[in-house]
Structure 1
Amino acid sequence: MEEPRETFSTSEGHGGEIVVETHMVESTESASHVHLACSRQHCAFPLDGDALCVWSTQDPSHQPLILRGHLRPVTAVAFGNAHPLLLCSASRDRVMMWNLGECGEKTLDGQPPRGTVLHALLGEVLCLRLSPDDRVAAVCAGDRILMLDAEFSQSRRALVELGRHRGPVTAAEFCPWQTHIIISASADRSFKVRGGRSFSVLVLDPGSQQLVAGSADGQLWVFSLAEGHHYRPVTRVDLRKQRDTFSTRKLSSCPEDSQLPPTKEEVEETLPVLSLAPCEFFFFPFNLSLSSRNASCLWIGSSAGLFIFNLANFELEAVLHFKDPSRSGLGKPCPQRGGSPSLLPCPVQAFCLLSALFGKKIALLEVDLAALLRSQPHPGVGARLSVLPRYAVLTVCFLFEYVYPAARAVVKDQPLVFHSKVTSSGYTAARLLFFQAGDGQRLACGLANHLSLVFSADLTGTPAVFSGHSGAVSTVCWSHDGRWLLSASQDGTLRVWSARRPELALCLGKDMFPKPVRSAQFYYLDAFILLSSGPEFQLLKCHISTSRDDVKRYKQKSRCTPVFRLPTTEAVEVTSLSAVNEFYSYLVLAAGRNRTLEVFDLNAGRSAALLAGVHSRPIHQICQNKGSSFATQHPQAYHLFATTATGDGVKLWDMRTLRCERRFEGHPNRCHPCGIAWSPCGRYVACGAEDRHAYLYETGSSTFSRRLAGHSDTVMAVAFSPSAVQVPSPVP
């Protein structure tokens, strides 16, 4: 057996405790254009052109296995998926299959290992894939895809030739949950279901049933392959922009970290997607929310480094740059998951096989996944906030002074969730379209023509008209007991109405608010009115009454007392405000004009957390999961909330970690501030859209489950009824 020209060596690594270089070899021919192969136990690559070198990832000291049988340079390599482990290789002269167990035994006996020729003279093969049962080999030769029988090779005939592409086939993958389906991508800007890019690599995620395609210009495209979705696009991600955002987040949260973000010259480069591989075991250094426990992640290999990409929120979880000058030319990474698949406390390794882009070196890197994740920034982790009260009201807090003594005997500090036989998603409120709490028999909406209307929930009869504002109504909100309706307008006033009849009970003018009220609601089981005005939010204690003095009937008996006001940390205008009124909660969420999201603890009277760059544009609505008396939820589900910004979709967050757990982008929303709403069962998030449809997302999926038609213009607001029994079913 001829040894490789360079000696294999084990190094202490180039990334400290995170990355260790286990093997390095220099070939006489460059392998930068070849799709390299990795499995759980081995990795394989062309050596000196026409030979194959197989390394063991489990035992770095094990001697490499050299396989010879091709007459021309090897252009594609792929491992099988079953036992015994097979290796398929292709060149211009032939396609060969190797049984690695038999080849290893022959090598130990001093005999040259031999492979089986499946086919000959197919031309240049750019990609190979074996079916999940290793019975069929898909060979991408030029613009053709041939399916070869891997068991009965003596016939040397293709089982079938699939329809040709208009350009060279660059990638192919078998569908894990439908093994008879294979998806191919081509340089003709299409794959089997016709895409819109020239994809170079593909990967399919069985958990979410999604197809992820990467292109040479650094774009990631995600498509849904679930039944009934008709291969609809889910999102498109620019890898370079994601890397820049991640680097900015890392710099702000970990300034002392030695792995600095890229320089300006590096930022301008394109990060081509050279390889995709599933990250089967993903360790979060904090508690997972209910929505992200089944989140899938991918390894992304590029010319500048390795990335871990979360398929739930479409964000990077970890970045590992190639910083060593001697490795700066390494490309074609092929990361694969290694080690035990069970959740063990021991370190979990990932192996990355690299070939030099402009050189002839090939290296195998071992990455400690747990150490890599621990080294990454995770803003918000450690805050440990909770929507549900964890302790009693502080005696020095204004909540204790105004509410606690009277409410302590009748209301407990827990969500108002009642077990019921009704198995419904339920409905709740949005900002300008608001169902009455409780039975949901009335629907309030604010209009741009200065009016507020209250309809019957079935939209029959004449609506009640609440007039008095001189500007567009920006907020409408029901009290928890259903007796009062609050409205705020761009005219700078805030009004409280009697819900029984269109009668004004309280009017607060510009003398109390320096700027127009952007958001307002009842808070703490109707004990307060919470509102935002300019760069601060205020808490008002109001006594509301519609009775009149017999002599001074023009004088209202309602009165209002300012209790507390608190500016945002960066003194920017508040664009949206949210707090739970259905049960006692100390937390208030505020969104700033500078794209920040701030959490305030009113029991402590201070800011508890601040997140920067939450969306690409200012948040125009925050919607919390508030529940309903007609549906039962897990208590931890109340920690979830959603935010939306024009042109940047909807993001799902967990209050405990302040992490974006999922992202929804299937609805068009580029210009108008379309509203969102959360179903009281906690399973669905609805949103408006500019294509005259309303979209319904399930919190466990990244693509919409239902698209509701019927409007003739942009859907600006949506709302769920707390009492209607309706369980949506996924449809196209």
Structure 2
Amino acid sequence: MRLKMEGPHQGLCARDSCGSKVVVEKYLLESGESASHVQLACRGRHCAFPRDGNQLCVWDVEGPTHELLTLHGHRQSITALAFGNTVDPLLLCSTSLDCVVVWNLDTCRKKMLQGRTPQGTVLGTCLGTVLCVRFGLEDHMVAMGAGNTILVQDAKDQCVIGELQGHAGPVTALEFCPWQADVIISVSEDRSFKVWDLSRGSLLYSSCVLTACPLLSLFLDADSEQLVTGSADGQLWVFSLAERHHYRHVARVNLRKKREVFYARRLWPGLHCLSEDLPSTKHLGGEEVEVTLPILSLAHCDLSAILSSDCSCASLSAERTRCLWIGSSAGLFLLNLANLELEALLQYKDFRSLSIQVAGSCSVTSGASGLKALCLLTSLFGNQIAVLEIDLAALARAQWSLAEGWGLSVLASSCVLPTSPLHLGTIQGKSASQKQTAVKSVIKDRPLVFHSKIRSSGYTSAPCVSMFSPKINSRRDGRKTSKFSNSYKCKGCPWENSVPTKPGQQVAVAYKPAAVCCIQYSGDGRRLACGLANHLSMVFDASLTGKPVVFSGHNGAVSTVCWSHNRRWLLSVAQDGALRVWSLCRKELLLLLGRGVFPRPVHSAQFYYMDTFLLLSSGPDVHLLKYHLDPCRDDLNRYSPKSWFQPVHRLSVASGAHVTSLSAVNDFYSHIVLTAARDRSLEVFDLNVGRSAAVIAEAHSRPVHQICQNKGSLFTAQQSQAYDLFLTTAIGDGLRLWDLRTLRCVRRFEGHPNRCYPCGIAFSPCGRFMACGAEDRHAYVYDMGSSTFSHRLPGHTDTVTGVAFSPSAAQLATATLDGKLQLFCAE
């Protein structure tokens, strides 16, 4: 046996750019027998592991190294270990082929000091190979997986409480449900998980076969009531165990792909040193062999302690506090349970001071203070056992430094710079209007009779049509009423009480089925615009009653419709590459930007900066246009419109890929423009400085087809930080919620089928909910605090292609591929 204690000069990561002690090897032991496939145990500051096969060792991290508590009670090799859930007394259960023993560690230490031999309580003998063991919530029961059977025994009376049978393979992991004391969940080599009712001794639920490899680990998250299980091929499966969700599948995570994305984003400066050590395949005999990452253990990690202790991590979001330690043979992974993204990665081979490079079994636990974590490892190919101490604050400083502090926000924090395109465009617009006013002032009133000595009277002014005009609305104090003023009174949005789930009015947009590609409510919530695949744009009343207003002129399916802030104009973009602006009151075209205006077709467009500009994408470029819409027509040249546009600024995506979607706030002044490109990246442009501000690589596994910002509503109020949230969606890759301040995905939403058709997404005016379409003829509503959907809205006859929340009422509109609009109201 060889014992090792790290000194202050050891335990440093040689490739850590910050020079901090991220990982320290606190303890190293050479055993006489390998313990590569033993379920190890860590809790608080205690670690339990077998030595020489049948000797049970317990080490206190805060105690001296030589004070190793050795317990003798097994004749055969120990196969599984587990600590109890209570601290006083601290219990430990050990299993082997010959017996199962429960140890009271406080009593064992007292007997050791008195020179007596510690003894435990034998629960059973000759139970077979036990691969996993767990204590109940109050340590009154012990559950163990003996082959295909789960045995539950009383920890004090040694009597059998239950015997659960149903797995087709050996049980590899089991847990007591934290929110239901009588429920046990188990996973097995038969590649499924089962939920048991211990009080009745019955099976509540049995999953299907999840993967091709055995399931090895299990974790239950009490906050979200979710189950996470890991397999031998590096796959993580997440299920919701909430009562109303009926064991719903939430997500599947490929650990190897997550590791590749983590390296591609290069979250910390020293990561480029490690990228050369990241092959997705190994060359063995001239052939490529795929590297797998078996998930050996799962454990909770709370990062809230480092948020309050380390000022450099003060900008971290609260969503990061709920993380999961993943122990694998190659290293440790810190997975965020909200967005299912890796927060940190520690590969054993990247730290020269570590003795174990490939682990056979692993157990991780958070320290008592929450600032450090302990990892107990056994070597896969040798007999070494090591205890690692991980400094979470140093890890945060090393790997999260570049992901924070960008200082971006949708809300403008400064005035427009004199060199900004927004300022130049405004000045140019003002100068043009001033020139027009000056030209009009030069033209003097002239008589219509061409005699110099005879002047006509009365023709230079407008004729008097009305001889008498009654004075009405005398209480307006001389203020004029606008023709387009909003007289619509909102009763308030009851978002705090319910969400719109009750089916309401349904209409077909055309006589022949025509897909509805996009829908959008006006700012006052009184009208609903939609773009159709039959080249038409239509405007309905918000209640879907009456005759709609139809705009025709496109030569392709209308993919984008956008309302102006003053609700007088409607913008539409079609697959013919043209942009058209329509007058809602005159029901006619005001401005046309055809294919000849830009070198590439217009893909998406919108009004921007409180209707001051037009923002559009063409190929890899984003164009900012100053425009003027004049609905007046000359009687002689009635087909020559007076509307005009003028290019102000052009921005190009850094990668050169074509822009697939863009988004910017138009309801208030904002300098931020968000774009998505075909190379699966997101880019943030700051138009106050007229250049790119940040690029997010590998935002999705496929190109993003829609960006949706939380723009709020005129009828609701939100916190200022909520406007920095935005959603992205890609076909086959679900939805992701991003925070502009940190440029990170803070939550991931999955559960709605979307594999072929680009379905739309929308924020609720209150910012608490999100809706999306799906291909199973349902619309889905997600709560922003949960990764799985809260409501599934039926009643559709085809794929739901678009969704839109009303800004003024608790109402949701949906559109389908067969050309129908459906309303959903609050209960």
Structure index of larger Rg:
2
2:586 is equivalent to residue 486 of structure 1: no
Alignment-mate amino acid for residue 668 of structure 2: F
Query: For the residues of structure 1 that align with 2:281 and 2:320, how far apart are their CA atoms?
Result: 38
Query: For the residues of structure 2 that align with 1:654 and 1:51, how far apart are their CA atoms?
Result: 51
Query: For the residues of structure 2 that align with 1:287 and 1:390, how far apart are their CA atoms?
Result: 20
2:11 is equivalent to residue 13 of structure 1: yes
Query: For the residues of structure 2 that align with 1:59 and 1:581, how far apart are their CA atoms?
Result: 62
TM-score by length of 2: 0.81
User: Secondary structure of 2:806's match?
Assistant: coil
Displacement after TM superposition at 1:194 (Å): 2.5
Displacement after TM superposition at 1:643 (Å): 0.8
User: Secondary structure of 1:13's match?
Assistant: coil
Query: 2:249 is matched with which residue?
Result: 233
Tell me which of 319, 322, 333 is aligned to 1:307.
333
Alignment-mate amino acid for residue 182 of structure 2: H
Tell me which of 266, 276, 287 is aligned to 1:250.
266
Alignment-mate amino acid for residue 133 of structure 1: E
Query: For the residues of structure 1 that align with 2:603 and 2:221, how far apart are their CA atoms?
Result: 42
Query: For the residues of structure 2 that align with 1:243 and 1:654, how far apart are their CA atoms?
Result: 22
Is contact 1:380–1:611 with CA below 8 Å preserved after alignment?
no
2:803 is equivalent to residue 718 of structure 1: yes
Mean CA deviation greater in 465-474 or 5-14: 5-14
Query: For the residues of structure 2 that align with 1:727 and 1:473, how far apart are their CA atoms?
Result: 21
CA offset digits 1:392-418 (Å, max 9, x no partner)? 1112223234448999xxxxxxxxxx9
Alignment-mate amino acid for residue 102 of structure 1: T
Tell me which of 133, 141, 152 is aligned to 2:146.
141
Query: 2:83 is matched with which residue?
Result: 79
Is contact 2:319–2:338 with CA below 8 Å preserved after alignment?
no
Query: For the residues of structure 2 that align with 1:511 and 1:626, how far apart are their CA atoms?
Result: 33
2:76 is equivalent to residue 40 of structure 1: no
Structure 1 residue runs of 4 or more that deviate by more than 6 Å after TM superposition: 404-407
User: Secondary structure of 1:719's match?
Assistant: strand
Is contact 2:300–2:324 with CA below 8 Å preserved after alignment?
yes
Is contact 1:40–1:57 with CA below 8 Å preserved after alignment?
no
Q: CA RMSD in A?
A: 2.5
TM-score by length of 1: 0.91
Mean CA deviation greater in 276-285 or 548-557: 276-285
User: Secondary structure of 1:718's match?
Assistant: strand
Is contact 1:423–1:631 with CA below 8 Å preserved after alignment?
no
Is contact 1:433–1:443 with CA below 8 Å preserved after alignment?
no
Residues 315, 293 of structure 1: alpha-carbon distance in 2 compared, 3 angstrom cutoff: closer
Structure 1 residues 49-68: aligned runs within 5 Å: 49-61=53-65, 63-68=67-72
Residues 458, 650 of structure 1: alpha-carbon distance in 2 compared, 3 angstrom cutoff: same
Tell me which of 487, 494, 498 is aligned to 1:423.
494
Is contact 2:356–2:386 with CA below 8 Å preserved after alignment?
no
Alignment-mate amino acid for residue 710 of structure 2: N
Displacement after TM superposition at 1:560 (Å): 1.6
Query: For the residues of structure 2 that align with 1:571 and 1:15, how far apart are their CA atoms?
Result: 38
Tell me which of 333, 338, 343 is aligned to 2:367.
338
Tell me which of 587, 590, 593 is aligned to 1:502.
587
Is contact 2:217–2:298 with CA below 8 Å preserved after alignment?
yes
Query: 1:281 is matched with which residue?
Result: 303
Query: 2:513 is matched with which residue?
Result: none
CA offset digits 1:373-427 (Å, max 9, x no partner)? 32225654332111001011112223234448999xxxxxxxxxx9996432799
Is contact 1:493–1:517 with CA below 8 Å preserved after alignment?
yes
Displacement after TM superposition at 1:260 (Å): 5.0
Tell me which of 676, 696, 710 is aligned to 1:611.
696
Residues 65, 647 of structure 1: alpha-carbon distance in 2 compared, 3 angstrom cutoff: same
Alignment-mate amino acid for residue 245 of structure 1: V
Structure 1 residues 422-461: aligned runs within 5 Å: 422-424=493-495, 432-461=517-546
Query: For the residues of structure 2 that align with 1:134 and 1:50, how far apart are their CA atoms?
Result: 24
Query: 2:225 is matched with which residue?
Result: 209
Structure 1 residues 626-641: aligned runs within 5 Å: 626-641=711-726
CA offset digits 1:545-571 (Å, max 9, x no partner)? 211112222221222222222222222
Query: For the residues of structure 1 that align with 2:590 and 2:245, how far apart are their CA atoms?
Result: 50
User: Secondary structure of 1:293's match?
Assistant: helix
Query: For the residues of structure 2 that align with 1:450 and 1:252, how far apart are their CA atoms?
Result: 49
Residues 289, 8 of structure 1: alpha-carbon distance in 2 compared, 3 angstrom cutoff: closer
Is contact 1:651–1:664 with CA below 8 Å preserved after alignment?
yes
Residues 700, 294 of structure 1: alpha-carbon distance in 2 compared, 3 angstrom cutoff: farther
Displacement after TM superposition at 1:189 (Å): 2.0
2:180 is equivalent to residue 178 of structure 1: yes
Unaligned runs of 5+ in 2: 15-20, 195-204, 283-288, 431-488, 501-515, 814-823
Query: For the residues of structure 1 that align with 2:540 and 2:584, how far apart are their CA atoms?
Result: 11
Displacement after TM superposition at 1:256 (Å): 5.1
2:672 is equivalent to residue 672 of structure 1: no
User: Secondary structure of 1:717's match?
Assistant: strand
Tell me which of 547, 557, 560 is aligned to 1:475.
560
Mean CA deviation greater in 505-514 or 141-150: 505-514
Residues 224, 616 of structure 1: alpha-carbon distance in 2 compared, 3 angstrom cutoff: same
Alignment-mate amino acid for residue 21 of structure 1: E
Structure 1 residues 258-657: aligned runs within 5 Å: 260-263=276-279, 265=281, 268-281=290-303, 283=306, 286=313, 292-293=318-319, 296-323=322-349, 324=352, 326-341=355-370, 348-376=371-399, 380-403=403-426, 422-424=493-495, 432-657=517-742
Residues 263, 136 of structure 1: alpha-carbon distance in 2 compared, 3 angstrom cutoff: same
Query: 2:236 is matched with which residue?
Result: 220
Query: For the residues of structure 2 that align with 1:476 and 1:248, how far apart are their CA atoms?
Result: 36
User: Secondary structure of 1:706's match?
Assistant: strand
Query: For the residues of structure 1 that align with 2:337 and 2:267, how far apart are their CA atoms?
Result: 24
Query: For the residues of structure 2 that align with 1:47 and 1:63, how far apart are their CA atoms?
Result: 15
CA offset digits 1:344-378 (Å, max 9, x no partner)? xxxx1111101111221111111111212322256
Is contact 2:356–2:384 with CA below 8 Å preserved after alignment?
no
Residues 329, 597 of structure 1: alpha-carbon distance in 2 compared, 3 angstrom cutoff: closer
Displacement after TM superposition at 1:237 (Å): 0.7
Query: For the residues of structure 2 that align with 1:162 and 1:121, how far apart are their CA atoms?
Result: 18
Is contact 1:129–1:172 with CA below 8 Å preserved after alignment?
yes
Query: For the residues of structure 2 that align with 1:405 and 1:486, how far apart are their CA atoms?
Result: 23
User: Secondary structure of 1:185's match?
Assistant: strand
Query: For the residues of structure 1 that align with 2:394 and 2:691, how far apart are their CA atoms?
Result: 34
Tell me which of 161, 164, 189 is aligned to 1:162.
164
Residues 21, 264 of structure 1: alpha-carbon distance in 2 compared, 3 angstrom cutoff: same
Is contact 2:530–2:561 with CA below 8 Å preserved after alignment?
yes
CA offset digits 1:73-102 (Å, max 9, x no partner)? 111110001121000111122111111011
CA offset digits 1:136-185 (Å, max 9, x no partner)? 101111111111111223xxx20111233221111101111222211011
Query: 1:101 is matched with which residue?
Result: 106
Is contact 1:300–1:308 with CA below 8 Å preserved after alignment?
yes
Alignment-mate amino acid for residue 54 of structure 1: V
Query: 1:194 is matched with which residue?
Result: 206
Residues 271, 226 of structure 1: alpha-carbon distance in 2 compared, 3 angstrom cutoff: same
CA offset digits 1:658-712 (Å, max 9, x no partner)? 1011111211111111111111111112111111111111111111111111222
| Count of matched residue positions in the alignment of Structure 1 and Structure 2 | 703
Is contact 1:295–1:311 with CA below 8 Å preserved after alignment?
no
CA offset digits 1:205-238 (Å, max 9, x no partner)? 1122111000111110001112201111111111
Query: For the residues of structure 2 that align with 1:377 and 1:258, how far apart are their CA atoms?
Result: 16
Residues 255, 6 of structure 1: alpha-carbon distance in 2 compared, 3 angstrom cutoff: closer
Displacement after TM superposition at 1:13 (Å): 2.1
